[in-house]
Amino acid sequence: MGVRGKLVLVCILGVLICSCNLFMVSEAVWLNLPASGTKCVSEEIHNNVVVLVDYVVVSDNHSHIPSISVKVTSPYGNNLHLKENVTHGQFAFTTHEAGNYLACFWVDGHVQGSGDVSVNIDWKTGIAAKDWDSVARKEKIEGVELELRKLEGAVEAIHENLLYLKSREEELRSVSEVTNTRVALFSFMSLGVCIAVSALQVWHLKRYFQKKKLI
């Protein structure tokens, strides 16, 4: 292989690795929790996806770090994670329902009045939540081969996401068609009722004028 061929190969691998890293970026969220009340974060996730979330309370006062409570629910309201009186933690689950997964955080009662509490949340889903170090050790791969495996996983995740979006589009189209049919039926019924009422009014007025011998 010539020098130009090697350069092209290196460029292609570089682009693939950069693309893989782009798709594997996790979502970091900062929440400022009030002394009273709850703040939530949510994400719409399709079925059979791994979710890994780390959270930690960040405080300028290292001698006293306020504690929080965490509750995670599925789209159908099932409890997936519940912790109270903690300053940090982690939860992981595999989705069995498609929809919005909700994680709610609130400050524990005994620290109320101390002002807002900052919480850092590292939310990872799909390929970003996979332990690639364990995969590399188990399959004895490293370097470019490992990056290609990550890219393969990213492509599979994108394909699954596209299939999910396609199914959602079909579902929404079906709902839209049913709604349009019902609206059209309601419009025809309303028009029929208006015509019937108008006809009855004309008939009633005609009989009234006939009785009064006005026509």
Distance between CA atoms of residues 136 and 1, nearest Å: 29
Q: In this structure, are strands 79-86 and 38-45 parallel, antiparallel, or unpaired?
A: unpaired
Q: Is 63 left (phi over 0), alpha (psi -120 to 50) or beta?
A: alpha
Q: In this structure, are strands 117-125 and 50-58 parallel, antiparallel, or unpaired?
A: antiparallel
The answer, yes or no, to whether residue 131 has pLDDT greater than 70, is no
Distance between CA atoms of residues 19 and 157, nearest Å: 13
Give the pLDDT confidence of 87-104 residue by residue, as tens digits: 999 998 989 888 899 999
Distance between CA atoms of residues 215 and 212, nearest Å: 8
Residue 115 C-alpha from the chain's centroid? 30
pLDDT of residue 102: 93
Q: What is the edge-to-edge ordering of all strands in the sheet holding 27-33?
A: 27-33, 117-125, 50-58, 88-94
Phi, psi (deg, nearest 5) at residue 128: -65, -25
pTM here is 0.60
Contact partners, residue 20, CB within 8 Å, separation at least 6: 147, 150, 151, 154
The answer, yes or no, to whether residue 35 has pLDDT greater than 60, is yes
Question: In the predicted model, what is the mean pLDDT of residues 8-16?
Answer: 45
Mean pLDDT of the chain: 79
The answer, yes or no, to whether residue 10 has pLDDT greater than 50, is no
Q: What domains, with CATH codes, occur in the chain?
A: 27-130 (2.60.120.380)
The answer, yes or no, to whether residue 135 has pLDDT greater than 70, is no
Q: What percent of the chain has pLDDT over 70?
A: 77
